[in-house]
């Protein structure tokens, strides 16, 4: 055994029975969980978790990490106003090196906040993936597709070429295991013909798909005017849903859309923070789950929700249910699962991460409970959703590799990164 995490006050397993274990030890061998119990088998390294809660690493199922450089850039606007401000800023600075820098920053923020996996859609995925892997994150990226040449300057044919090269690029970079993804932006930026082509490539190379679907009512109206269909119907009719697909947002899915998504095995990355801030609407979290859809939680980008804090996202997800329905409809276990095992299901990693079970990869976080705001503990899930915060996360492991030690990255120097970021964003000054 390589590591034994001993004497944890609690372990929130997110296993099938939603067990919360007490006074428990967790062993890690070759990056995987090899022991859960109350004995103390010998190990090369012992981590004393007295007074701590161990949980599965949180999974952010929809984000754009490179945009962390635009935190606070666009305030007081809806999605349309947001896109105008952000696209101008991106045009000014987002070359390949800058995308990598922004993703390094986002990956570090995520890990220090207890998030071990992110579903990231952004320009220059080779560069972003390199940056995130350097910091130690399980970073799901993929080639992106728009009908028009984007800021990356790629023509459609080049995007297709990149998609075919993606698996080789991933192998070159290495890092924790991720599924292969293709990421067409949405049904309002990609024509049905082009989406059909992306779906075909996904089938050929065994990739999954991540795209924005029904984030706002305006998007639904726009797509209906063009095609007399909902975005979900466009996905179905172009073959996108013939491969496992995750919808970013899914705020305005109709009952019929949910039925389609459920029957096709599509999942949703629910981003309550971004949806509340941009006034996009209140997603129907419980209805989607009842329809049989795997719903994970996500932050969206730091340009629209200002941070990558999955603890605040859990809290907002619960508040949205209380507001749309009633406090009695808030099932706290379902909220914790949406940040762990259900998010793992949503992104296609449920066989590897998202729960504390023997055989799973050891993506784990330690939360220090020795704090005034975490005392007493009457209900562990309520503690996680409503009281704990990312500052309580002390240590983080990804595939058994300790990437955060006592609130500090073991991979990169924070002060140096902050300096590089502040230097680079000076290029935005003329746009202010």
The residues that touch Zn ion, with contacts defined as CB under 5 A, are 248, 300
Q: Which is nearer to Zn ion, 31 or 231 (CB)?
A: 231
Closer of 175 and 273 to Zn ion (Cβ): 273
Nearest in space to 366 (alpha carbons), one of 58, 28, 35, 98 = 58
Q: Alpha-carbon distance 425 to 412, whole Å?
A: 20
Closest contact distance (angstroms) between CB of 292 and Zn ion is 24
Closer to Zn ion at the Cβ: 300 or 392? 300
Nearer to Zn ion, 211 or 260 (CB): 211
Q: How far is the CB of 175 from Zn ion (least distance, A)?
A: 23
**Among the listed residues 191, 179, 34, 32, the one whose alpha carbon sits nearest the alpha carbon of residue 120:** 179
Cβ closer to Zn ion: 56 or 248? 248
Q: Minimum distance from CB of 61 to Zn ion (Å)?
A: 11
Whole-Å CA distances, 63 to 85, 141, 247: 18, 10, 12
In angstroms, give the least distance from the CB of 258 to Zn ion.
Answer: 20
Q: Write down the least CB distance from residue 298 to Zn ion, Å.
A: 8
Q: From residue 100, how far is each of 64, 272, 391 by CA, in Å?
A: 12, 26, 25
Which residue number places its CB atom closest to Zn ion? 248
Q: Which of 155, 144, 293, 152 is nearest to 214 (CA)?
A: 293
Query: How many angstroms separate the CA atoms of 99 and 90, rounded?
Result: 10
In Å, how far are 327, 348, 380 from 323, measured between CA atoms? 8, 30, 22
Dihedral sign computed on CA atoms, order 278, 389, 345, 326: negative
- Sign of the torsion angle spanned by Cα atoms 11, 271, 311, 380: negative
Q: At residue 372, what are phi and psi to the nearest 5 degrees?
A: -60, -45
Smallest gap from residue 77 Cβ to Zn ion (A):
15
Cβ closest to Zn ion, residue 293 vs residue 332: 293
Q: In terms of CB distance, is 144 or 320 closer to Zn ion? A: 144
The least distance separating Zn ion from the CB of residue 212, rounded to whole angstroms, comes to: 5
For Zn ion, the closer of residues 190 and 361 by Cβ is 190
CB neighbour burial string for 93-113, b if at least 16 within 10 angstroms, e if fewer: bbbeebbbbbbbbbbbbbbbb
Please tell me the total number of residues recorded for the chain in this structure. 432
Residues 6+ positions from 146 with CB-CB distance below 8 Å: 184, 185, 189, 190
Provide the minimum distance between the beta carbon of 63 and Zn ion in the complex, in angstroms, as a whole number. 7
Q: Could you give the CA distance from residue 365 to residue 240 in angstroms, rounded to a whole number?
A: 35
Where does 121-222 show beta strands of DSSP type E?
138-140, 144-145, 181-184, 208-213
Tell the smallest beta-carbon distance from residue 275 to Zn ion (Å).
10
Q: Nearer Cβ to Zn ion, position 304 or 312?
A: 304
């Amino acid at each position: 055994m390589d590591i034994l995490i001993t004497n944890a006050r609690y372990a929130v397993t997110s296993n099938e029975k939603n067990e919360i274990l007490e006074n428990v030890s967790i062993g890690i061998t070759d990056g995987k969980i090899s022991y859960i119990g109350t004995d103390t088998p010998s190990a090369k390294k012992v981590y004393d978790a007295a007074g701590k809660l161990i949980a599965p690493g949180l999974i952010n199922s929809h984000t754009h990490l490179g945009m962390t450089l635009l935190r606070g850039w666009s305030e007081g606007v809806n999605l349309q106003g947001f896109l105008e401000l952000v696209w101008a800023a991106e045009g000014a600075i987002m070359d390949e090196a800058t995308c990598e820098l922004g993703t390094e920053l986002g990956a570090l923020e995520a890990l220090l906040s207890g998030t071990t996996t992110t579903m990231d859609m952004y320009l220059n995925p080779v560069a972003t993936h390199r940056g995130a892997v350097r910091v130690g994150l399980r970073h799901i990226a993929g080639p992106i597709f728009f009908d028009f040449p984007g800021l990356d300057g790629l023509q459609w044919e080049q995007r297709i070429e990149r998609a075919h090269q993606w698996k080789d690029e991933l192998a070159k970079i290495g890092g924790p295991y991720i599924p292969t993804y293709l990421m067409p932006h949405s049904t309002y930026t990609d024509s049905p013909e082009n989406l059909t082509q992306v779906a075909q490539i996904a089938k050929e190379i065994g990739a999954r798909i991540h795209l924005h679907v029904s984030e706002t009512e305006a998007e639904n109206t726009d797509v209906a005017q063009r095609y007399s269909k909902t975005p979900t119907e466009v996905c179905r009719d172009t073959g996108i849903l013939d491969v496992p697909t995750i919808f970013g947002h899914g705020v305005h899915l109709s009952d019929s859309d949910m039925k389609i998504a459920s029957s096709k095995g599509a999942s949703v990355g629910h981003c309550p923070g971004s949806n509340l801030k941009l006034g996009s609407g209140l997603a129907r979290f419980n209805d989607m789950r009842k329809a049989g859809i795997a719903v994970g939680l996500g932050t969206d980008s730091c340009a629209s929700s200002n941070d990558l804090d999955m603890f605040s996202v859990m809290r907002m997800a619960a508040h949205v249910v209380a507001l749309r329905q009633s406090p009695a409809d808030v099932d706290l276990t379902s909220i914790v699962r949406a940040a762990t095992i259900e998010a793992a299901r949503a992104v296609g990693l449920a066989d590897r991460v998202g729960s504390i079970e023997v055989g799973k990869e050891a993506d784990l976080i330690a939360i220090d409970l020795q704090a005034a705001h975490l005392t007493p503990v009457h209900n562990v899930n309520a503690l996680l959703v409503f009281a704990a915060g990312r500052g309580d996360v002390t240590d983080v492991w990804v595939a058994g590799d300790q990437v955060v030690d006592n609130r500090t990255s073991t991979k990169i120097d924070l002060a140096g990164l902050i300096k590089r970021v502040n230097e680079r964003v000076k290029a935005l000054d003329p746009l202010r």
